[in-house]
Amino acid sequence: MAYTRLPLNTFLAKYPAFTTLTDQPYAAWATDAEAEIGESYGTMQQKATELLTAHFLASQGIGLAAGTAALLATGATSFKSGIFSASIAESVVAARVKGGLASTTYGQELQRIKRRLFGGPVLVGCE
């Protein structure tokens, strides 16, 4: 199946965390993801491109509750608002602060696809 960018409403149905997403940022980040994910992903190109788009959006704080993106960037491991309190595992905070694909669940899922498609032994320095 060839890759086709999902219409915004379909993307939102698959990735409901991005309820505040509008056309312009979606198009911009989807374009970046499309440039990075190519035909070498074969049948997984559609899913990989969607995941990378979602990863880029989440990395920008789009789809997170107000103030949560800034809170996570500080390395906080817990927060409280009224009667609600939450704790975030230090390993999760460390991954998010470090950046890269491991910093979001979408990126982690993309990493699994990449390992499955492109993993294996690599020969280095053979002469």
Q: pLDDT digits over 19-51, tens only? A: 889 999 999 999 999 999 999 999 999 999 999
Q: Which domain holds residue 71?
A: 20-118
- Would residue 125 count as lying in a domain? no
- Would residue 5 count as lying in a domain? no
Residue 66: per-residue pLDDT: 44
pLDDT reading at 93 higher than 60: no
Give the mean model confidence (pLDDT) for residues 4-9: 97
pLDDT reading at 71 higher than 60: no
- Would residue 4 count as lying in a domain? no
Q: Rounded mean pLDDT of the chain?
A: 82
Give the mean model confidence (pLDDT) for residues 56-66: 78
Residue 24: per-residue pLDDT: 96
- Would residue 126 count as lying in a domain? no
Residue 97: per-residue pLDDT: 52
φ, ψ for residue 87, nearest 5 deg:
-125, 145
Predicted TM-score (pTM) of the model is 0.73
- Would residue 1 count as lying in a domain? no
How would DSSP label each residue in 85-115? Answer: EEE--HHHHHHHHH-SGGGSHHHHHHHHHHH
